[in-house]
Copies of this chain bind each other. A is one copy, B any other.
């Protein structure tokens, strides 16, 4: 059993949950239509299934090795990097002015959904490279864009993001890497960066490192951080590859998962760099990219959960054990034991909910582009991003864990492959802002002081309930959705009220509020899909469509039903943590 590109599920989500057709032939995406969409998804599915998936276990087994300052990647990965570039995948949503295809974010992310499912460790390379493309596009000078973007977008070069330092992880204010003017307009970067994904490899002719560092006499804290561009090989005046710069990989981490992705300790030893954007504007530059980067991690969760579910589902259909209570059959496929089927159905329902949330986020990014005058789209995007990142990655860990469980004893054996998903998934709630940071962002900036984005979301869900109120088939589910949106509304009000007088209560409730929000939005979107599925039953693939309905019902009964409990936990606030010592003596 290898990875199967989930084109059917993704297409249903795009068409019937998100409404992708709104972006067809718009001024933002003039050449985009259904046939192009299908062609891109098919090609992405082929790359995922034929090129990336077969390397997933190879990469896990071989990992990466440091030979001097050279990173040796797992067998087959250099060819895959080449195939990825040749397919033009770096440029899918990039600016056509620099060789990109200018397609919607949601289409790009639909492809990444499959790439991550096939091989998350590999896909981190283009994910990070795209991050650097977006940063240079948003903050670089015209000369910098002209020089760097075409080669990054074509995949001749790759890009990296260098933020974290040993003492500056979640708190970038503490970073100490220095940038000193060389007098010729360039800067000399000195310092050590850690956890640099794909920081060094031989898969590209050059590597463009984006680095956060401090100028001399920069203000303390986050207001004194600047963004620099530091290439592995310096460029001559014509932009051709020149001397090796003094930046190198000095260590690789031994990690729980994503073994094929080199996690580098990068040493900058007076490395020559140029400033991107204004002095001390580094953090602001990072912030403009953060939504895209965090959504990308959300899709890592979706893709990985999908792959973990597929493997478990295939095993459950194949493995026979005991007499089925469902069919009465002896030596039955374990899928026909209700407890096993429940695990698989919950896995699938949760991953589809995560997919819908992440796609809705991508759609909001696109909508903001299509309809620039409507601030509502940007607000929706901002509100959904931390949920897409944290809720999806928490679910990915859960789903991967259930995937191991479905396999029984075989799940604990590495050769089976289920354990790799359990290991790989565990990083996603941590990086690109821990899920705790996401929750703080949600109740802080995103809920804001007025709660407008939360109100708009609430209104959309209430309007969905009103419009469909007469559909008696879904009465039980609508009641649960109604209770959940009410809990969300009360929780939002509660947190808004507490912001000034009880910030500790707000901080303590943040993670639970994020979970409640994700459960609510996931349930709403699954029900949206279920209603469409029901309307197509007579003419479509009835078994497949019926599954959409049943998964939505299951998610409501098992997950959405917890909304009032989440509200109670949020309301309980900081009290139980106040003065808690938990000493280890």
Which residues does A use to contact B, with CB under 8 Å? 4, 164, 167, 169-171, 173-174, 194-195, 253-257, 310, 313-314, 317, 321-322, 325-326, 331, 335, 337-345, 348, 397, 401, 404-405, 408-409, 411-415, 419, 422-423, 426-427, 429-431, 434-436, 439-440, 476, 480, 503-504, 507-508, 510-512, 543-544, 546-547, 550-551, 553-554, 557-558, 561-562, 564-565, 568-569, 572, 574-584
Across the interface, name the chain B residue whose C-beta is closest to A253. Answer: B413
- Known A164-B409, A565-B564, A572-B558: A170·B338 in contact at CB below 8 Å: no
User: Which one of B314, B339, B343, B550 lies within 8 Å of A584 (CB-CB)?
Assistant: B314
Q: Please give the distance in Å from A545's CB to the nearest CB on chain B.
A: 11
The 10 A-B residue pairs whose C-beta atoms are closest, nearest first, are A557-B572, A338-B507, A554-B576, A171-B322, A339-B436, A256-B419, A562-B565, A561-B565, A553-B576, A561-B568
The answer to whether A414 and B338 touch across the interface, beta carbons within 8 angstroms, is no
Q: A543-B583, A553-B576 are in contact. List 18 more A-B contacts (CB 8 A).
A: A169-B409, A170-B408, A174-B321, A174-B331, A253-B413, A256-B419, A339-B511, A397-B401, A401-B426, A409-B431, A422-B426, A547-B582, A550-B578, A554-B572, A558-B569, A561-B568, A564-B564, A565-B565
User: Which one of B169, B255, B582 lies within 8 Å of A321 (CB-CB)?
Assistant: B169
User: Which one of B195, B412, B553 lies within 8 Å of A430 (CB-CB)?
Assistant: B412
User: Which one of B256, B345, B404, B439 lies within 8 Å of A576 (CB-CB)?
Assistant: B345
Q: How far is the CA of A576 from the CA of B504 in the complex (A)?
A: 40
- Known A325-B503, A345-B576, A572-B558: A313·B582 in contact at CB below 8 Å: yes
Q: How far is the CA of A419 from the CA of B409 in the complex (A)?
A: 20
The answer to whether B341 and A584 touch across the interface, beta carbons within 8 angstroms, is no
Q: How far is the CA of A426 from the CA of B584 in the complex (A)?
A: 25
Q: Please give the distance in Å from A105's CB to the nearest CB on chain B.
A: 27
13 contacts between A and B (CB under 8 A): A254-B413, A256-B412, A314-B584, A341-B577, A342-B508, A343-B436, A397-B401, A401-B426, A408-B434, A423-B423, A557-B569, A561-B569, A565-B565
Q: Please give the distance in Å from A121's CB to the nearest CB on chain B.
A: 13
Q: How far is the CA of A584 from the CA of B297 in the complex (A)?
A: 25
Across the interface, name the chain B residue whose C-beta is closest to A577. Answer: B341
Of A340, A576, A578, most B-chain CB atoms within 10 Å = A576
Q: How far is the CA of A568 from the CA of B409 in the complex (A)?
A: 31
Q: Which residues of B contact A345 (CB under 8 A)?
A: 576-577, 580, 582
